[in-house]
Chains A and B, each alone.
Chain A
């Protein structure tokens, strides 16, 4: 099976702009989670989508949003970009037949730089 793919891999944006990142999960996986990774804060959970519904949400401002499509592909959007949003954004998918705590398979990440 193909792994989790994320596009684009690298992105440079200017403060105030918005950005959309895309994630294609492993075929058959219904849960998609997003994480932000920075040198200062480490890996932080953004949100999780399951069957097109947001199931969990982390402590990020409303500028960060996401959605999931019927084919389980997911997008996350950051509006009004700030310098502090520069980070590696990781997507992870999980088979999740039910319950919690299943293995998550991570994508390579999208490196976002805000100037």
Chain B
């Protein structure tokens, strides 16, 4: 069975500090991994996916198959990064997403 674990329910950091959100997964095949974000009073939206290898809004995430992790990082957090972040896994076919429990990020001024 596929599973996604986000060990931190809440991360509180000061503006300008680095932030790292942890995500570990369990999946027998080759996973497709995503980070989705939900800002206050907005819809859930895609932040980034591992195959694109992009940096979005300063965030990056590296897939580590050996450690089965897909941690999200940003070197300098901004107040507008305060949101709920979900790590998600898709597979083996179609668009079924398995979500982690989510991490709420609070960036303090």
Contacts and interface: CB of A to CB of B under 8 A. Distances in A.
B8 interface: no
B96 to A, nearest CB: 4
A72 interface: no
Interface in A51-109: 55-56, 58, 90, 92, 94, 96, 100-108
A22 interface: no
Contacts, number: 66
A28 interface: no
A42 B95 contact: no
Contacts of B91: 100-101
B104 interface: no
Contact of B96 (A42, A58, A105, A107): A58
Interface residues of B, number: 22
- Name the interface size band of chain A: 20 to 34
Given A42-B101, A43-B86, A104 B43 contact: no
Main secondary structure of the interface of A (DSSP, over half): strand
Given A42-B99, A92-B44, 6 more contacts: A45-B98, A55-B95, A92-B95, A94-B95, A101-B91, A101-B95
Counting from the closest, the 4 A-B pairs by CB-CB distance are A101-B32, A43-B99, A56-B96, A101-B90
30 contacts: A3-B43, A33-B96, A33-B97, A35-B99, A42-B99, A43-B86, A43-B97, A43-B99, A44-B99, A45-B96, A50-B95, A55-B93, A56-B93, A56-B94, A58-B96, A92-B95, A92-B97, A94-B95, A100-B91, A100-B92, A100-B95, A101-B34, A101-B51, A101-B91, A103-B46, A105-B45, A106-B44, A106-B45, A107-B43, A108-B43
Interface of A: 3, 31, 33, 35, 42-45, 48, 50, 55-56, 58, 90, 92, 94, 96, 100-108
